[in-house]
Structure 1
Amino acid sequence: MARPKAKAPARRYHISGQSIVTLDGRDIYLGKHDSPECIARYAVLIGIYQSGGLKLPEDFDPAELDHKAATLLGVADTPAQQADQPVQVQHVTALFREHIKLKYATVPQEMRRHERLCSQLEEQFGEVLAQDFGPVRLKSFREFLIREGNSGKKPLARKYINRLVRCVVGIFRHAVAGELIGIDLVHRLETLEALRNGQTSAPEVPAVEPANIEDVRKTAEHLSPIIKAMLRIQIATGARPSEICIMRPCDIDRTGDIWIYHPSRHKTSFRGKAKAIPLVNDAREAVTEFLQRAPDAFCFSPKEAMAWRHAVAAANRVTPDSCGNRVGSNRKETPKSVPRDRYDTSSYRQAIQRAARRASVRQWHPYQLRHLTATVVRAALGIEEARALLGHSTALMTAHYARESIEAATRAAAAAPKL
């Protein structure tokens, strides 16, 4: 029997020192945890919730709880933010950590980047009052990133540090939405100018060069069929590594003569832009054998790559089957890491760089394939075809413009290099 819906959702302790309750998917802060004012606000809130049929009114304003709670207590109105519970930087980062669990649930690299940034902020300024974290302290944090922001490894580049500083401002902007701080603090933080070339010790990132096609071919000899197919498709289409990693059969329109891949997510999807990647010639040939699976399953799976490696190892086994370990008998029941359902850009890059070392060629990374394809197509057909293939547009396309773009992209794909 299903558990009945709770008529009075529980109060929870929030790291800011307040009580919080979630109603209709909305977080409502009640003030200092377990204080009389907090309990009174909770009682008033639940009364409103239950009288509305377990639903908050559309025009509900949390501020109205103060007056009703004060009436219940027989005292003057009390603000939701308690004076003896000042908001610190660690409270701001804690709120943001909750936010990124949902926002970056499908983007582990961004999740890790923001988690690391929150940890660094907490280590440096965790107990500082949020209102006191102004441009001077933000600049001090930026200097920390320049000195040791990468844990003693290769120094962080100037542009990347500017990006991290913008992320810090975003962390505080989210706290404004959570009613922990005022918007004036964010405006103050935004006054810090970005680092400029030649005005900082932070290094510059060298321009990304196209991958050497011969190095790519030698590397491919040491790759699993799964990664090799991903390389073939990326070279033939100029797609971004992230777009190759998330490819699924349901994202490929195979109704026409030309197959069109529509990535479920891409760099500019948040702006409402659509992207169409034609799969012709080598790309179509490479992807075909990976379409025999559930429509919403990822085409390229690390689990399949591991199974292939085990099969190769078993086929190359020298020890007779009657001796030594039986195939599969020495595998751990609880391994430290388990292959995921799909590659991400990090695991894709790492697989390629391991193969490059085995092939004794210069190190290269997947994004250089996009530059390789762009260079070849532009030399063969011109910049417009290269733009169409790579998906570089500046406005939402009309149906006519979309048709022309796909035709240009198809011509470009036919001229793209092959693995």
Structure 2
Amino acid sequence: MDLNRMPRPKAKLPNYLYHVSGQARVYLDGRYFYLGPHDSPESHARYFALCKIYQENGCKMPEDCETHPDEDAAITVRCVTADYLSFAAKKYASSPERYERQKRLCDMVDKEYGDLPAADFGPRRLSQLRDLLVASKNRRGRHNTRAYINDQVRTIVRVFRYGVARELVPATVLNALEALSPLVEGESVATESVAREPADIEAVRKTAEYLSPVLKAMVQVQVATGMRPSELFRMRASDIEQREDGVWVYRPSEHKTKRHGKKKQVPIVGEAKSALEPYLDREPTDFCFKPEESARWYQQQRSANRKTPANEGDRPGYNKRTRSGESKPRQYSPKFDKDSYRRAIVHAAKKAGAEHWTPYQLRHTAATVIREALGIEGAQALLGHSKRQMTEHYAKESLDKAIEAAKAGPKL
């Protein structure tokens, strides 16, 4: 095949173009689509909406899609959601899962009201979308919870707030949407969320016996500090200050409340400090806890417990796929994520015959123990909450309180 004669592949996101008439346009599937005055918010919104249609149709455009919209053509809901998603793709570039959740929600809005003028989208239609969320089920076949439904409705309102900021939607639309009250308990058939309970410390101790040294150290650090799993995964030597008084202070480069301008400080003392110390011998920008080291340890344990003699069967690193050249070296992620960490914990708990628990429950375990020992302010200081209601109504963050709380944390 002559590669030089192969047709050029179609662009997934064709260019936003200028026309001498002063119009913006985009070339899709052999046709030019005019978008309105060049560089106007409306033209960009129409561009993103058309590109979304183009991508969803396998790089094809419907025959009935208008190429020259009227000058006074209304901005549709589809234009607003598409423009918002272009913004969200950049905002949540480091959190693909969060972006995908917002995209699925925008797709649902488009399916129901995509062609509706955005100025006509009001509380009644928002309420109808909420009813649809109440009636639908999630991927596990369960009805959505009330908290989840209210969160989804708030996200839809956020999309239209963005549209107002872009001057695509009248401010009166946003005011009307915000008038819709959230669902309250008993108002609908939506299920109630089950409160997350603290992990039983004895179950954690039993599970730790079946974890690799890397994972056990992670659990020890988390149970002593109460930090979120995501903060634990991102821990690097360069983020830890080793103070003269012997206290280490971890300041995550990324954390949940960073976007609100808040700083996170996690004191590391006692057992957490001893558990972490062996994993600081790395490049300053390398993550402390590496999945590859954990996987290698499990492989060594399986080899050591192997019953088949070494000269029989598949030798480690020399099996049938390796001899045929089919096997490739496994590629490991540079850090754990919530799924790999959780799966390892759940598997070890099952192997140990311990009660089921998940990593995020360790945060609740630490909060419960510290609250009993030092009161609510101590728990708040260690967990880094800024509002008292997050841990039964707190006051303000204090590093000294957090250090005192860390010393009182639970031990494995």
Q: TM-score, normalised by structure 2?
A: 0.75
Partner of residue 260, structure 1:
249
Partner of residue 195, structure 1:
183
Percent sequence identity over matched residues? 41
1:271-312 Cα deviation digits (max 9, x unpaired):
222221111111101111111222112212223322332333
1:392 aligns with 2:388: no
Residue of 16, 22, 28 corresponding to 1:20: 16
1:317 to partner: Cα distance: 2.9
1:321 to partner: Cα distance: 3.6
CA contact (8 A) 1:238 1:374 kept: yes
Partner of residue 307, structure 2:
318
The residue identity in structure 2 corresponding to 1:276 is Q
1:166-199 Cα deviation digits (max 9, x unpaired):
1111123333444543333333322221101121
1:209 aligns with 2:206: no
When structure 1 is superposed on structure 2, of 200-209 and 356-365 the one drifting more is: 356-365
1:220 aligns with 2:208: yes
SS at match of 1:319: coil
Partner of residue 237, structure 1:
225
Structure 1 residues 119 and 303: alpha-carbon distance in aligned structure 2, compared to 1, 3 A threshold = farther
Residue of 350, 362, 367 corresponding to 1:374: 367
1:378 to partner: Cα distance: 2.0
SS at match of 2:398: helix
1:13 to partner: Cα distance: 9.5
1:414 aligns with 2:397: no
Structure 1 residues 125 and 333: alpha-carbon distance in aligned structure 2, compared to 1, 3 A threshold = farther
1:15-35 Cα deviation digits (max 9, x unpaired):
9xxx7369xxxxxx9545469
- 1:40-51 matches, within 5 Å, as none
SS at match of 1:289: helix
CA contact (8 A) 1:218 1:359 kept: yes
Cα distance in 2 between the residues matched to 1:152 and 1:84:
45
CA RMSD of aligned residues (A): 3.4
SS at match of 1:253: strand
1:84 to partner: Cα distance: 7.9
SS at match of 2:206: helix
Structure 1 residues 409 and 98: alpha-carbon distance in aligned structure 2, compared to 1, 3 A threshold = same
1:81 to partner: Cα distance: 7.8
Cα distance in 2 between the residues matched to 1:95 and 1:158:
28
CA contact (8 A) 1:155 1:203 kept: yes
Partner of residue 295, structure 1:
284
Structure 1 residues 316 and 147: alpha-carbon distance in aligned structure 2, compared to 1, 3 A threshold = same
Partner of residue 339, structure 2:
346
Cα distance in 1 between the residues matched to 2:137 and 2:359:
25
Cα distance in 2 between the residues matched to 1:130 and 1:375:
47
Residue of 287, 304, 307 corresponding to 2:293: 304
SS at match of 2:285: coil
The residue identity in structure 2 corresponding to 1:258 is V
SS at match of 1:138: helix
- 1:91-130 matches, within 5 Å, as 91-130=79-118
CA contact (8 A) 2:36 2:71 kept: no
CA contact (8 A) 1:169 1:189 kept: yes
Cα distance in 1 between the residues matched to 2:108 and 2:124:
17
Partner of residue 392, structure 2:
none
Partner of residue 73, structure 1:
none
Cα distance in 2 between the residues matched to 1:109 and 1:270:
17
The residue identity in structure 2 corresponding to 1:416 is G
- 1:277-292 matches, within 5 Å, as 277-292=266-281
SS at match of 1:203: coil
1:163 aligns with 2:159: no
SS at match of 1:260: strand
Cα distance in 1 between the residues matched to 2:72 and 2:347:
55
Q: TM-score, normalised by structure 1?
A: 0.74
The residue identity in structure 2 corresponding to 1:242 is S
Partner of residue 3, structure 1:
none
1:38 to partner: Cα distance: 5.8
Cα distance in 1 between the residues matched to 2:289 and 2:127:
43
Structure 1 residues 149 and 135: alpha-carbon distance in aligned structure 2, compared to 1, 3 A threshold = farther
Structure 1 residues 129 and 208: alpha-carbon distance in aligned structure 2, compared to 1, 3 A threshold = same
When structure 1 is superposed on structure 2, of 295-304 and 85-94 the one drifting more is: 85-94
The residue identity in structure 2 corresponding to 1:361 is A
Unaligned runs of 5+ in 1: 1-11, 23-28, 46-60, 64-79, 396-403
CA contact (8 A) 1:13 1:20 kept: no
Cα distance in 1 between the residues matched to 2:267 and 2:116:
53
1:214 to partner: Cα distance: 0.7
Partner of residue 400, structure 1:
none
SS at match of 1:201: coil
